[in-house]
């Protein structure tokens, strides 16, 4: 590659929370950003066009992603995954299958590096579909001849906003006893950590959390404080959650997938080494003021 040419990076999952945070950070660091979006989501990325060199479309859940998507691409960063159920697909179809289609197409097209955004604890042998699908893709990526990297983040600040909304309504619902710990991170801090990682040697797996650990009770209390309301924290016992999981498993696979993911995250420790400097309280206060 011509050393004067900026490195061309394809962001897959560009319409998502992390994808949107990655685009300006990559662009500010001199990377040429190509955003990969599915055709139906193209409209949602137009506001970021200033930081995007090219916009390409493909359905990653279909095999045979066209080679033109990867034209000149040195690095693929994939943050594709199901967080909120929108189209009834399974984690196996998206987090595993979609990313595998992307990996195979990248291999055929001469891409050099593939960085995958997984989740903290994906290596643990849990039967939760979302974690299992990510673990399966991690394994496929580690078997690839590409220069691979795996990032396993803790929860994003943006998802904690849901608890702030509950606080405003008077009750914060928590799964489990509230004592499990998490290291939430601002998406921009995560994006900056990821872009820094592109400079280091490949074949690395890094867990990434924000600057502080919290129990879920501490997060709920913080949300009540920021919302400036006297609110109740309600703990849903694990015995009841097991019943809910058994029922949804039979009646609705997508609901079971989302519920099992949330229950796992809130009833086990998902802390990770600390990165970044943006604080959760400041983030939540800004969200509260914007209401
Ligand atoms: N949010 C968290 O707290 C958290 C914590 C740890 C790990 N993670 C993982 O980090 C990754 C990024 O998270 P995020 O919060 O940025 O997620 P997000 O906002 O939901 O974005 C997910 C991205 O994946 C794409 N996607 C979903 N289903 C797809 C499909 N069927 N075909 C093609 N693309 C599809 C979405 O595209 P559309 O816009 O077209 O739907 C979107 O661009 C995910 O894998 C997530 O599991 C998230």
CATH, residue 46:
3.40.50.720
Q: What average pLDDT does the segment 225-239 reach?
A: 96
Helix, strand and coil in the chain, % to nearest 5: 45, 20, 35
Position 231 scores a pLDDT of 95
84 — pLDDT class (breaks 50, 70, 90): confident
Q: What number of CA atoms fall less than 13 Å from residue 17's CA on the CB side?
A: 18
Containing structural domain, residue 68: 8-154+184-208
Examine residue 263 and state whether it is found in any structural domain, yes or no.
no
pTM of the entire structure? 0.96
**Residue in 43, 81, 188 to alter for ligand 1 test, most ligand atoms within 8 A of Cβ:** 81
The count of structural domains within the chain is 1
Asked whether the beta carbons of 18 and 187 are under 8 A apart, the reply is yes
Examine residue 272 and state whether it is found in any structural domain, yes or no.
no
Examine residue 252 and state whether it is found in any structural domain, yes or no.
no
Q: Does 45 score more than 80 pLDDT?
A: no
Beta bridge partners of 55: 35
CA 3 to centroid of ligand 1, rounded, Å: 33
Position 3 scores a pLDDT of 56
Q: What angle do CA 196, 152, 141 make, to 5 degrees?
A: 90
Q: Does 1 score more than 70 pLDDT?
A: no
| Helix (H), strand (E) at residue 33 | strand 32-37
Q: What average pLDDT does the segment 107-122 reach?
A: 97
CA 171 to centroid of ligand 1, rounded, Å: 27
| Helix (H), strand (E) at residue 73 | none
Handedness of CA 166, 271, 87, 238 (dihedral sign): negative
Q: Does 107 score more than 70 pLDDT?
A: yes
Ligand 1 atom closest to Cα of residue 95: 45
Q: What percent of the chain has pLDDT over 70?
A: 97
Position 143 scores a pLDDT of 98
Q: Does 41 score more than 90 pLDDT?
A: no
Examine residue 113 and state whether it is found in any structural domain, yes or no.
yes
Phi then psi for 218, rounded to 5 degrees? -65, -35
Q: What average pLDDT does the segment 242-255 reach?
A: 94
Examine residue 172 and state whether it is found in any structural domain, yes or no.
no
Q: Does 47 score more than 80 pLDDT?
A: no
Tallying the residues shown for the chain, one arrives at 291
| pLDDT 10s digits, 171-200 | 999 999 999 999 999 999 999 999 999 998
**Taking all residues of the chain, what is their mean pLDDT, rounded to a whole number?**
94
CA 177 to centroid of ligand 1, rounded, Å: 28
Q: Does the Cβ of 209 fall within 6 Å of ligand 1? A: no
42 — pLDDT class (breaks 50, 70, 90): confident
Position 154 scores a pLDDT of 98
Nearest CA to ligand 1 atom 1: 156
Instruction: Return d(Cα 169, Cα 227) in angstroms, integer.
Output: 9
Examine residue 18 and state whether it is found in any structural domain, yes or no.
yes
60 — pLDDT class (breaks 50, 70, 90): very high
**Residue in 79, 95, 153, 205 to alter for ligand 1 test, most ligand atoms within 8 A of Cβ:** 79
Position 291 scores a pLDDT of 85
219 — pLDDT class (breaks 50, 70, 90): very high
Quickly count: other Cβ atoms within 10 Å of residue 108's Cβ.
12
Residue 35, C-beta contacts closer than 8 angstroms, at least 6 positions apart: 10, 11, 14, 19, 23, 45, 48, 52, 54, 55, 56
Q: What average pLDDT does the segment 2-11 reach?
A: 84
Q: What average pLDDT does the segment 255-261 reach?
A: 93
Q: Does 150 score more than 90 pLDDT?
A: yes
| Helix (H), strand (E) at residue 108 | helix 99-108
């Amino acid at each position: 590659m011509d050393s004067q040419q900026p490195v061309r990076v394809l962001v897959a999952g560009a319409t998502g929370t992390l994808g949107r945070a990655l685009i300006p950070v990559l662009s500010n660091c001199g990377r040429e950003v190509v955003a990969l979006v599915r055709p139906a989501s193209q409209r949602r990325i137009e506001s970021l066009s200033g930081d995007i060199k090219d916009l390409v479309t493909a359905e990653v859940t279909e095999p045979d992603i066209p080679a033109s998507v990867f034209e000149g691409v040195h690095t693929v960063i994939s943050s594709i995954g199901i967080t909120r159920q929108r189209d009834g697909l399974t984690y196996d179809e998206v987090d595993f299958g979609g990313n595998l289609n992307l990996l195979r197409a990248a291999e055929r097209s001469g891409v050099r590096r593939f960085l995958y955004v997984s989740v903290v604890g994906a290596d643990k042998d849990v039967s939760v579909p979302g974690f299992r699908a990510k673990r399966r893709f991690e394994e496929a990526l580690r078997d690839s001849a590409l220069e691979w990297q795996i990032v396993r983040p803790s929860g994003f600040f943006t998802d904690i906003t849901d608890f702030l909304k509950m606080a405003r309504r008077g009750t914060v619902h928590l799964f489990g006893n509230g004592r499990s710990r998490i290291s939430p991170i601002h998406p921009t801090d995560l994006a900056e950590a990821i872009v820094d990682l592109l400079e280091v040697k490949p074949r690395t797996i890094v867990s990434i959390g924000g600057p502080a650990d919290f129990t879920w009770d501490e997060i709920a209390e913080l949300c009540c404080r920021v919302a400036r309301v006297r609110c109740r924290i309600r703990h849903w016992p694990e015995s009841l959650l097991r019943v809910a999981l058994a029922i949804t498993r039979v009646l609705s696979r997508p609901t079971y997938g989302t519920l099992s993911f949330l229950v796992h995250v809130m009833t086990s420790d998902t802390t990770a080494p600390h990165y970044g400097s943006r604080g959760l309280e400041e983030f939540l206060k800004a969200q509260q003021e914007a209401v």
